Amino acid sequence: MISMITAVLSAICNVGQSVFVKLSTEKSEKNILQFNALKAGTALILFFMISLYHFQMHLPTMLYGALYGLALLASMVSGYLALGKGPMALTSIITSYSLIIPCVFGAVYLNEEIRALQYLGLILLFASMGLISRIENKLIFQKNWLFYVIITFVCNGVCPVIQKLHQVHYPEKFRQEFMVYALFVIVILLLLISAGKGKKQKKTEIKYAALSGICMGLGNYITLLLSSSVNATVLFPIVSAATMLLNYIISMILFQERFNKIQFGGFIIGIISIVLIKL
């Protein structure tokens, strides 16, 4: 029961990040660097407080964390721009399909076995992407939305690959330190790049950045807890499916977004495909 509640909280945190970013972009898209610096800084403080009493310095983990931080930074910035220029539901769902990257990487480079259900999930995933991508050309070509979605898609896929490589070398070790190093790199880089740039952030932007950072920090921490759970193989598909459903429901309620019939069919197939891949 506790594990199931934790899984639902993970999904809520995942969606919360997107919601607060989307709300911020509706106010202004000019303070993208400052917004993400505050978001990452909030997550860093939260993560560091959680891991304070058992934090260990470890150089290889620091290097892996730095690489992860660079990929996550690119994902955060491109994701912010994508959410500012397109619908939250479609953006979040397409980028969530990035799990295909670590799945293929694991099979090709780490010799991980892909089971029959996972093959079926991959086939359904491509079918879902084809159906969901039936969108207006105006959205793609006039706002560069697709460009930012593709960058976010790739970076979201690279992040778990780096995390997986780290855990291959150091199984179940330095996981919290890994995230602290990554977030630290993000904050420092964003502060250096944004120094003297952009306008002073409004209180609402600061609020949304902090709330998004809290969701980011809690979401990542809960993922670490779930990954060490004996029920991880059951819980992760639930988290993925719940995240997609919540994204669509919240998008309808807050931003009046709707799928057409073909896209909705692709959405349902997408949920099934992700569950199958993560089983």
Residue 260, CA atoms < 13 Å, CB-side half-sphere: 7
Closest CA to 224 of 66, 51, 57: 51
> Taking 50 as the threshold, does the pLDDT of residue 141 lie above it?
no
Q: What is the pLDDT of residue 62?
A: 95
Per-residue CA distances from 72 to 43, 160, 192, 216, 246 (Å): 13, 10, 17, 11, 23
- 98 secondary structure, DSSP code: G
Query: Using CA atoms, how far apart are residues 104 and 115, in angstroms rounded to an integer?
Result: 12
Does residue 248 register a pLDDT over 70? yes
Alpha-carbon distances of 55 from 50, 61, 72, rounded to whole Å: 9, 12, 22
Supply φ then ψ for residue 134, to 5 degrees. -75, 80
> At residue 16, what is the residue type?
G
- pLDDT at residue 79 is higher than 50: yes
- With beta carbons less than 8 A apart as the criterion, state whether 153 and 93 touch: no
- Encode burial over 211-229: b for 16+ CB neighbours within 10 A, e otherwise: bbbbbbbbbbbbbbbbeee
> How far from 107 is each of 71, 118, 217, 237, CA to CA, in Å?
21, 11, 29, 19
Q: Give yes or no for residue 146 having a pLDDT over 80.
A: yes
Residues 97-138 pLDDT 10s:
887 888 788 878 877 777 788 788 888 888 887 777 665 545
Q: What is the pLDDT of residue 145?
A: 85
